[in-house]
Amino acid sequence: MTNRLADTLSPYLRAHADNPVDWFPWGEEAFAEAQRRDVPLLISIGYSTCHWCHVMARESFADPATAALINDGFVAVKVDREEHPQVDGAYMAAASAFTQNLGWPLTVFATPRGRTFYAGTYWPPEARAPMPAFREVLAAVREAWTVRRAQAEESADAVTDALARAAESAPSDLPDVVAIATAAEAIAQREDRQFGGYGGAPKFPVATTLRFLQHPVVREGAPDAAASVERALAAMAGSALRDADGGFFRYATQRDWTVPHYERMLTDNAQLLDVARDAQDERTVRGIAAFLIDVLRRDGGGFGAAQDSESMIDGVRNEGGYYLRTLADRADLESPAVDGKVITGWNGLAIGALSRAGAGIRGAALDRCRGCCRRPRGAGQPELRRRAGAHIARRPGVIRRGDRGRPRAVRRRSVRPRARDRRRDVGDRGAAHPRRGARWSRRRRPAAVGPGHRDLTR
């Protein structure tokens, strides 16, 4: 059996390299092999910090008996959804024809042409009502392909055609102010007035919804709906959804934001940083910024995709055990792994949010600040990150400044901008602007490189 995943760039794929399953990465080779053998594709989609992906890998993909069933009847394809979001999106849409419980790991059975004729998510190794055992699913799908192939292919064609029709849309005008306000009020009607947020369990901090409700048009046309954002943010920030180091977990399994799903995503935290900045919640802004810089930022300057929910504690993989400890108690523990993929678009979200937060909250050293965070002679990136992280972690409203050779002073600042000072401030680096009195600073952005994608259309 050829190990095709060991040298891939994806940490998720490399984690499955030693499985007894004969995995193929996403690509033409897998489709050609399925056509040559005249067997269906088993496409397993996930990502490296996904807890249930880890569980299914341990229970099924690492099991020799289950792997033998997969290798004998299918061509197995492993896909990192963060590397191939268009593949994930297409198969997630197709899976919605077979189950309402969508998520990851996503398990798709497709024809050699790639058309879905059955799909689901996680299946346990043994039947657990209402879920069948994964090996029972494999046997049923293989029987359908060998005995009722025409029906399976007809189902695949029907799903593909339905998705194509759904994608067709006639041009329409942009919504006016009234339509936007109406949509915002409809969202606000789902507000959980007791625990904050919208809807019931499981509960997600849907940053895109919060940002929509913070739009100036919504604030003017539906002020009550806009006000729900600050209530939601306060509830989330004060709950178990937010870790002691300031970063937010992906979602909570309970309505009161308890029992979180412990993985932490770059995209979620970058967008929530903008939400907190617009809500003028300085404490939450500083906490998220510290998490991004201290935990997700990589040595090359970019930001990793996510932090895992699991870590090793006393020699056993444990979900959430690390995060349930105090910050002091974590010092002797191995921290959960960070998926180091630097994805361009996601880094853009983080860099933009950090830049806006730095401009919006004075003195929050989100980048190379003046004075004490200036690069000392011989200092490298780790030292600069340590200094910046120490700045951000201080309590809101208090900053420390210092200039060359001068002792540091402590000054208290409010979020509200102070009146313009037209005097020349020669204590900071460089002279003041001759007309504005504004101080100059230079900021450097880390580079971000993302993977390419393959077109799914066939």
For the chain, give the percent of residues with pLDDT over 70. 79
Residue 319 covered by a domain? no
- Least confident range from 174-178, 382-386, 452-456: namely 452-456
CATH number for 261 = 1.50.10.10
Which pair of tokens denotes residue 268? 């979620």
| 182 plus 82 within the same structural domain | no
Confidence of residue 371 (pLDDT cuts 50, 70, 90): very low
Residue 289 covered by a domain? yes
- Looking at residue 398, its pLDDT comes to 36
| 226 plus 351 within the same structural domain | yes
Q: Are 183 and 217 in contact (CB under 8 A)?
A: no
- Count of domains in the chain? 2
Residue 247 covered by a domain? yes
Residue 326 covered by a domain? no
For the question of whether the overall pTM of this predicted structure is more than 0.85, the answer is no
pLDDT at 446 over 50: no
Residue 268 covered by a domain? yes
Residue 420 covered by a domain? no
Domain boundary among 167, 188, 209: 167
pLDDT at 22 over 90: yes
| 88 plus 126 within the same structural domain | yes
| 200 plus 83 within the same structural domain | no
| 136 plus 244 within the same structural domain | no
Provide the pairing of β-strand 116-120 with 409-412. Answer: unpaired
| 55 plus 88 within the same structural domain | yes
| 143 plus 59 within the same structural domain | yes
| 137 plus 244 within the same structural domain | no
Rounded Cα distance, 455 and 458, in Å: 8
Rounded Cα distance, 62 and 422, in Å: 68
Domain boundary among 136, 167, 198: 167
CATH number for 140 = 3.40.30.10
Report H helices in 292-394: 344-360, 381-393
| 148 plus 182 within the same structural domain | no
Residue with tokens 């523990």: 333
| 240 plus 284 within the same structural domain | yes
- Least confident range from 77-81, 202-206, 393-397, 439-443: namely 439-443
Residue 445 covered by a domain? no
pLDDT digits over 26-43, tens only? 999 999 999 999 999 999
Among 213, 180, 179, 215, residue whose Cα is nearest residue 198:
213
Q: What would the DSSP string read from start to end of 358-385?
A: HHHSTT--SSS-SGGGS--TT--HHHHH
Domain boundary among 397, 412, 427: 412
| 274 plus 368 within the same structural domain | yes
- The predicted model gives 159-163 an average pLDDT of 91
Residue 444 covered by a domain? no
- Looking at residue 165, its pLDDT comes to 86
Which residue range(s) make up the domain with 98?
Answer: 11-167
| 184 plus 67 within the same structural domain | no
